[in-house]
Structure 1
Amino acid sequence: MAIDEPGSAPTGENSLACTVTFGRSSFVGRSLVSALLKSGRWTVRIADPLPLPDPSADPLLSGSIRSGRASYFQVGLRDSSQLRHAVAGSVVVFHVAPPAVLSPPLPPSDFYRLYTETVQGAKNLIAACRACGVRRLVHTGSADVVFDGVHGIDGGDESLRYPDKFEGVLSELMAQVEILVFNANGRDGLSTCVLRPSNPFGPGDSSFLPFLVAAARLGLAKFIIGTGKNMCDFTYVENVAHANICAEQALRSESTSVAGKPIFITNHQPVELWDFISNILEGLGYQSRPTIHLPVKLVLLVVVLANKVREKLGFGIPSSPLFTPAITYTLSCTRTFNCSAAKRLIGYSPIISLELLIYCCGEMKGRHLHISFHLICCFTGSSFLEELLSHQLPKSYCWLQSFSLSMALYLHPCRFGFNLEKMSSSYFQVSESTVRQSFITMASLWNKVVSVLKLLAQGDDWNVFFKAAGFLYVVKLLLPFPLSALIGVGLTCLFSLFIIYEQCEEEVDKLVSTASAGIRKLKERMVANLPSFLVTYLQELKN
Structure 2
Amino acid sequence: MATRLRPANKKCTVIGGCGFLGQYMVERLLDKGYTVNVFDIRQGFQDERVQFFIGDLCSKKDLLPALQGVNVVFHCASPDPFSDNKELFYRVNYTGTRTVIESCKEAGVQKFVLTSSASVIFEGKDIKNGSEDFPYAKHPMDYYTESKILQEKEVLSTNDPENNFLTVAIRPHGIFGPRDPRLVYVLVETAKSGKMKCMIGNGKNLVDFTYVENVVHGHILAAEHLHKDSPLCGKAYHITNDEPIPFWTFLSRILIGLNYEEPKYHIPYWLAYYLALFVSLLVFIISPFIKINPTFTPMKVALAGTYHYYSCEKAKKDMGYKPVVSLDQALERTIQSHSHLRKNS
2:4 is matched with which residue?
none
Per the TM alignment, residue 213 of structure 1 is displaced from its structure 2 partner at its CA by 2.8
1:83 is matched with which residue?
63
Equivalent pairs, count: 337
1:244 is matched with which residue?
219
1:42 is matched with which residue?
34
1:63 is matched with which residue?
48
The 5-angstrom pairing of residues 401-416 of structure 1 reads none
The residue type paired with residue 12 of structure 2 is C
Contact 1:184 1:192 in 2 (8 A): yes
Which of 338, 356, 360 is matched with 2:311 structurally? Answer: 338
2:342 is matched with which residue?
373
Between the aligned partners of 1:94 and 1:371, the Cα distance in structure 2 is 32
1:134 is matched with which residue?
109
Between the aligned partners of 2:107 and 2:57, the Cα distance in structure 1 is 15
Per the TM alignment, residue 374 of structure 1 is displaced from its structure 2 partner at its CA by 5.1
Per the TM alignment, residue 190 of structure 1 is displaced from its structure 2 partner at its CA by 0.3
Which of 75, 94, 111 is matched with 1:95 structurally? Answer: 75
Between the aligned partners of 2:160 and 2:11, the Cα distance in structure 1 is 21
Contact 2:258 2:343 in 1 (8 A): no
The 5-angstrom pairing of residues 48-447 of structure 1 reads 48-50=40-42, 52-53=43-44, 58=45, 61-64=46-49, 70-100=50-80, 107-108=83-84, 110-148=85-123, 150-186=124-160, 188-252=163-227, 254=228, 256-286=230-260, 288-309=261-282, 318-321=292-295, 323-360=296-333, 364=336, 373=342
Per the TM alignment, residue 316 of structure 1 is displaced from its structure 2 partner at its CA by 5.5
Which of 14, 17, 20 is matched with 2:14 structurally? Answer: 20
Per the TM alignment, residue 310 of structure 1 is displaced from its structure 2 partner at its CA by 5.5
Contact 1:97 1:139 in 2 (8 A): no
Between the aligned partners of 1:31 and 1:372, the Cα distance in structure 2 is 22
The residue type paired with residue 133 of structure 2 is S
Change (3 A) 1:166 1:310: closer
Contact 1:147 1:153 in 2 (8 A): yes
The residue type paired with residue 276 of structure 1 is F
Between the aligned partners of 1:308 and 1:171, the Cα distance in structure 2 is 20
Per the TM alignment, residue 318 of structure 1 is displaced from its structure 2 partner at its CA by 2.7
Hey, which of these two has a bigger chunk of strand by percent?
2
Between the aligned partners of 1:306 and 1:123, the Cα distance in structure 2 is 35
Between the aligned partners of 2:146 and 2:238, the Cα distance in structure 1 is 17
SS at match of 2:277: helix
Per the TM alignment, residue 313 of structure 1 is displaced from its structure 2 partner at its CA by 6.6
Contact 1:97 1:141 in 2 (8 A): no
Q: Deviations over 1:4-36 (max 9, x none)?
A: xxxxxxxxx856210100000x21111100101
Contact 1:285 1:370 in 2 (8 A): no
Per the TM alignment, residue 285 of structure 1 is displaced from its structure 2 partner at its CA by 2.6
Per the TM alignment, residue 358 of structure 1 is displaced from its structure 2 partner at its CA by 4.0
Higher relative contact order (CA 8 A, sep 6+): 2
Hey, which of these two has a bigger chunk of helix by percent?
1
The 5-angstrom pairing of residues 489-500 of structure 1 reads none
Per the TM alignment, residue 360 of structure 1 is displaced from its structure 2 partner at its CA by 4.5
1:486 is matched with which residue?
none
The residue type paired with residue 107 of structure 2 is C
The residue type paired with residue 265 of structure 1 is I
Contact 1:98 1:118 in 2 (8 A): yes
Identity %: 30
Change (3 A) 1:127 1:223: same
Between the aligned partners of 1:262 and 1:307, the Cα distance in structure 2 is 32
